[in-house]
């Protein structure tokens, strides 16, 4: 039976640590960290994610502000707002909720965010720093996954890792982070031949595809650590259900550690967003960021 890597519990602990740091900051009269969130369109999942992130931020004492635009907003309007937020001393972090509706180009809009306020770690300059092994702001979901993998409490050097999914948001940055930890990393994707064969070699298997039920028990090496990043909303008679990429009931008896969905990677993503905002705040005020996360 596998250890359950309980993201909800671990994230709550991280958030409590951030809150504690904020109490110390409060005494110095510098004002609280402020996160600006830009939301375009009415994507139901994005509305939920934004509300969760703002709620978590406000619960620990951050200020948040939301800039909401219709899906037909012109890119010039977004670029102007980002410029204003970049120039504001009051704002420490800027989050552009993805995906953006077409024809907006997320690369173009993300590139306008100051790399010093890019708390999602998706600006090309922050991605480049991660690539060369000198990370500044790294993407929150991969940071959360790495934290969960480290709680598995095994030496990471030399471990075979398979990351299924090669997105800029999750798969690629996580593969780089694990490479930096001394793992041997394979990135698999939709075009990979014989995916099951690759997955079976993995000491650490990460599924970040959005394909529910892709990873079966027969694809998992006994004793592996399995991280399920996928979240798909499935309609049920009772409403809807969130499901991952991994068939939990088949994989759990084979793996030595596994994340649940929900309550695994999702809460860790939010905790690392808050951690990045705090880091941006500390850097803006020449305080040394507390290394309580990664
Ligand atoms: P994406 O669509 O950008 O990328 C998906 C990747 O998976 C692609 O590289 C694709 O080639 C690969 N893929 C898809 N189906 C596959 C299959 N059948 N076999 C092999 N490879 C396949 O998605 P993303 O933004 O990386 O997100 C992936 C999943 O993770 C989604 O379910 C998303 O909702 C979830 N997600 C969760 C969190 C969180 O905090 N828990 C954060 C971000 C994304």
Nearest to 186, CA basis, from 170, 213, 165:
165
Q: What is the mean pLDDT of residues 200-221?
A: 98
Higher pLDDT, 237 or 257: 257
In this model, does residue 183 exceed pLDDT 50? Answer: yes
Average pLDDT over residues 263-279: 96
Confirm or reject: Cβ of 85 under 6 Å from ligand 1. no
Across the chain, mean pLDDT equals 95
| Burial per residue of 271-288, b for 16 or more beta-carbon CB atoms within 10 angstroms, e otherwise | bbbbbbbbbbbbbbeebe
**Residue 165 Cβ contacting ligand 1 at under 6 Å:** yes
What DSSP state is assigned to residue 101?
P
| 74-97 average pLDDT score | 98
State the pLDDT at residue 56: 97
pLDDT at 268 > cutoff 70: yes
Reported as half-sphere exposure (CB side, CA atoms, 13 A), residue 245 has a value of: 20
Look up residue 96 and give its DSSP letter.
Answer: E
Task: Evaluate: CB of 190 within 6 angstroms of ligand 1.
Answer: yes
Residue environment code for 187-225, b if the CB has 16+ CB neighbours within 10 A, otherwise e? bbeeebeebeebbbebbbbbbbbeebebbeeebbbeebb
Q: Which of 229, 244, 259 for a ligand 1 pocket mutation test, highest count of atoms within 8 Å of Cβ?
A: 229
Q: Tell whether the torsion through CA atoms of 268, 129, 116 and 18 is positive or negative.
A: positive
pLDDT tens-digit readout, 22-60: 888 776 778 899 999 999 999 988 999 999 999 999 999
Q: Which pLDDT score is estimated for 25?
A: 78
How confident is the model at residue 191, as a pLDDT?
98
pLDDT over 60 (residue 292): no
Ligand 1 closest atom vs CA 231? 32
Give the confidence band of 294 by pLDDT, cuts at 50, 70, 90: very low
Q: What is the pLDDT of residue 286?
A: 85
- pLDDT tens, residue by residue, 89-107: 999 999 999 999 999 999 9
Joined together, the tokens standing for residue 207 give: 């599924």
Arithmetic mean of pLDDT, 123-146? 97
Q: Rounded CA gap, 42 and 215, in Å?
A: 31
């Amino acid at each position: 039976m596998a250890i359950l890597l309980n993201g909800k519990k671990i994230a709550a602990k991280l958030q409590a640590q951030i809150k504690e740091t904020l109490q110390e900051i409060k005494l110095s009269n510098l004002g609280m960290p402020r996160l600006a969130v830009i939301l375009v369109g009415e994507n139901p999942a994005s509305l939920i994610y934004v509300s969760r992130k703002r709620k978590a931020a406000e619960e620990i004492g951050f200020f948040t502000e939301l800039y909401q635009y219709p899906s037909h907003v012109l890119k010039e309007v977004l670029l102007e707002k980002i410029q204003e937020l970049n120039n504001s001393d009051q704002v420490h972090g800027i989050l552009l909720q993805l995906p953006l509706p077409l024809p907006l180009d997320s690369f173009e809009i993300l590139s306008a965010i100051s790399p010093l306020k890019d708390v999602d770690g998706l600006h090309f300059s922050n991605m480049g720093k991660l690539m060369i092994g000198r990370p500044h702001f790294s993407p929150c979901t991969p940071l959360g996954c790495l934290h969960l993998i480290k709680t598995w409490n095994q030496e990471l050097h030399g471990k075979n890792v398979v990351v299924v999914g090669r997105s800029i948001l999750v798969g690629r940055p996580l593969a780089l982070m694990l490479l930096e930890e001394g793992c041997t990393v394979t990135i698999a994707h939709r075009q990979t031949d014989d995916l099951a064969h690759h997955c079976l070699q993995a000491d650490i298997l990460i599924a970040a595809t959005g394909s529910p039920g892709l990873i079966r028990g027969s694809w998992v090496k006994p004793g592996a650590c399995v991280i399920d990043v996928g979240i798909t909303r499935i309609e049920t008679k009772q409403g809807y259900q969130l499901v991952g990429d991994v068939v939990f009931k088949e994989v759990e008896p084979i793996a030595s550690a596994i994340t649940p969905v929900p309550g695994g990677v999702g809460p860790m993503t939010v905790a690392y967003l808050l951690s990045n905002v705090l880091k941006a705040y500390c850097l803006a005020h020449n305080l040394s960021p507390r290394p309580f996360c990664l």
